[in-house]
Amino acid sequence: MLLQEAMEAARRAPARGRVADYIPALAQADPTAFGMAIATVDGAVFGAGDWEHPFSIQSVSKLFTLALALALADGGDELWRGVGREPSGNPFNSLVQLESENGIPRNPFINAGALVVTDRLLKLTGDAVGAVRDFLRAESGNPAVAVDDSVASSEAQHGHRNAAMAHFMASYGNLRNPVDSVLAHYYAHCAIEASCRDLALAGLFLARHGTRADGSRLLSRSEAKRINAVLLTCGTYDAAGEFAYRVGLPGKSGVGGGVLAVLPGRGTVCVWGPGLDAAGNSVLGVAALDALTTATGWSVF
């Protein structure tokens, strides 16, 4: 009921945004698709609309790569030497700060920062994309979560900006693996297909202060707090201020149109609508989260 009302409120907003087309395979997404799911810390999940329809998770994957890299890294100091945790105030694919800041990206959620995190996860596991995919499968209980190879190769063929950033960072010694391997793992984890249901369940470890679905601990309470903090300040790029203002929750968006938001201690909300605003965030998704959190008061504030 709450979800349907939030979706109806979002549909009343005049703008719909534009489907991402810089990755040609994503241009085929249905601009009218719209779904929403809520998962609670005890593992219950509810949905409305296209909430069980898989979509390309794109940058939503970046919160999972960060969590897995921090879980495996010894304390995280090495990781945080290679990537900052300040908002960039620039688009997600911007190169401008990288040179003046010596090849250290501002945060783990812009593309440059996510490439560094993928590189470290690859070093730690030998299979960064497999680690993300398996984590999503385990937490969602859905063994069908998988990489869409056609999306990964479509992005690889048009990924000149990401390749430029990766080579540039390699020139500063900020990658531990060959550039081509880092890019391949990055494109593949962005090209994982999952639904609102799957992502809402998979993000619950952040609402459970670091604890996984099976009760084991992925992150310490303070690491989970830190990831939520960086999601709030950097998860929606140069629109993170507007997202915090409207939604009041830590969240991560992707150009496939997904947005995953976390209410620590309570649960997660995942929304999918492929039309994007200029910052690359789902127009319907942010509007639905705005409506839901405004109606319910669910917020970290």
Where do contacts with ligand DON occur on this chain (CB under 6 A)? 58-59, 92-93, 111, 155, 162, 190, 253-255, 280
Q: What's the Cα-to-Cα distance from 20 to each of 114, 266, 273, rounded to whole Å?
A: 19, 32, 11
CB of 261 to ligand DON, least distance (A): 14
* Distance, CA of 150 to CA of 101 (rounded, Å): 34
Q: How far is the CB of 20 from ligand DON (least distance, A)?
A: 8
Q: Please, what is the minimum distance in Å from the beta carbon of residue 174 to ligand DON?
A: 17
Q: How far is the CB of 159 from ligand DON (least distance, A)?
A: 7
Interhelix angle 179-190/61-72, nearest 10 degrees: 120
DSSP 8-state assignment for residue 301:
-
Euclidean distance between CA atoms 25 and 191, whole angstroms: 10
| Those residues with Cβ within 8 angstroms of residue 256's Cβ, 6 or more apart along the chain or in another chain | 20, 26, 29, 55, 56, 57, 58, 60, 272, 274
Residue 56 vs 268, nearer CB to ligand DON:
56
* Nearer to ligand DON among residue 59 and residue 94 (C-beta): 59
Measured distance CA(216)–CA(283) in Å, rounded: 36
59 vs 88, which CB is nearer to ligand DON? 59
Q: How many helices (H) and strands (E) does the chain have?
A: 14, 8
The closest residue (CB) to ligand DON is 59
Q: How far is the CB of 254 from ligand DON (least distance, A)?
A: 4
CB closer to ligand DON out of 248 and 280: 280
Q: How far apart are CA 269 and CA 266, in angstroms?
A: 10
Distance, CA of 300 to chain centre:
19
Nearer to ligand DON, 22 or 245 (CB): 22
Shortest Cβ 78–ligand DON spacing (Å)? 23
CA distances from 149 to 32, 60, 72, 155, 191 (A): 24, 17, 27, 10, 7
Nearer to ligand DON, 209 or 243 (CB): 243
Q: Which is nearer to ligand DON, 59 or 293 (CB)?
A: 59
Least spacing, CB of residue 257 vs ligand DON, in Å: 9
CA 81 to CA 78: how far, in whole Å? 5
CB 73 within 8 A of CB 63: no
Q: Quick check: 7 and 287 in contact, CB under 8 A?
A: no
Q: How far is the CB of 85 from ligand DON (least distance, A)?
A: 18
The smaller minimum CB distance to ligand DON, of residues 162 and 233, is found at 162
